Structure 1
């Protein structure tokens, strides 16, 4: 049985796909400091501005950045809301892992008592 993702899950797929690349994660980290041009974002990397622009396009399609024109500069701006959705999805699994570790603790305690 193949499940088709809902709109929410499609959004998460785009976010996680965008975050899978270390360059894109570094760009998001850079944008936490404020809006930046392609040239400013390309400076720390050994890649061309067109290559950085391709990364920005992926981030924009995932909703992680927005882009605006200011005079002759095109600025990228961090949009953190999709990250909140991703964190929320990941936190749903926190209780699963906590319960798993609690069961493991119980097994270890039982083994120590048996010794």
Structure 2
């Protein structure tokens, strides 16, 4: 089973999906505007949106006669926590490698 972190990272691994998500930082927009801004055909855009939606990164709704999409940044918190934790661990590891292990205290 794929975790929420895996879903988020896989969804944002594609540059087109990252561009779609970035377009939504300004707020909810019509799907047609996203297709124009990204320069993709409707079928390709739909495939990208399904992946983003399954990862919980976007929501869709109908307003009047248009389909609207909006960003849901919630899943980014899980990814940011994982990245920050690992960044801290790597920084500690690098510091240990540079200075060597702490000397043993006499008993």
Q: Which has the higher contact order (CA 8 A, sep 6+)?
A: 2
Match of 2:77 in 1: 84
- Candidates 12, 21, 25, aligned match of 2:14: 21
Q: Give deviations 1:56-90, integer Å, cap 9, x for gaps.
A: 11100100001011010111110000011111111
Q: Which runs of 5+ in 1 are unaligned?
A: 108-115
Structure 2 spans left out of the alignment, 5+ residues: 101-107
SS in 1 for 2:59: strand
Structure 1 residue corresponding to 2:40, chosen from 39, 47, 62: 47
| Number of residue equivalences | 100
Residue 38 (structure 1) aligns with: 31
Structure 1 vs Structure 2 CA RMSD: 1.5
1:36 Cα shift? 1.4
Q: TM-score under structure 1 normalisation?
A: 0.79
- Give the TM-score normalised by structure 2: 0.84
Give the Cα–Cα distance (whole angstroms) in 1 for the partners of residues 26 and 43 of structure 2. Answer: 22
Q: Distance in 1 between matches of 2:26 and 2:53?
A: 18
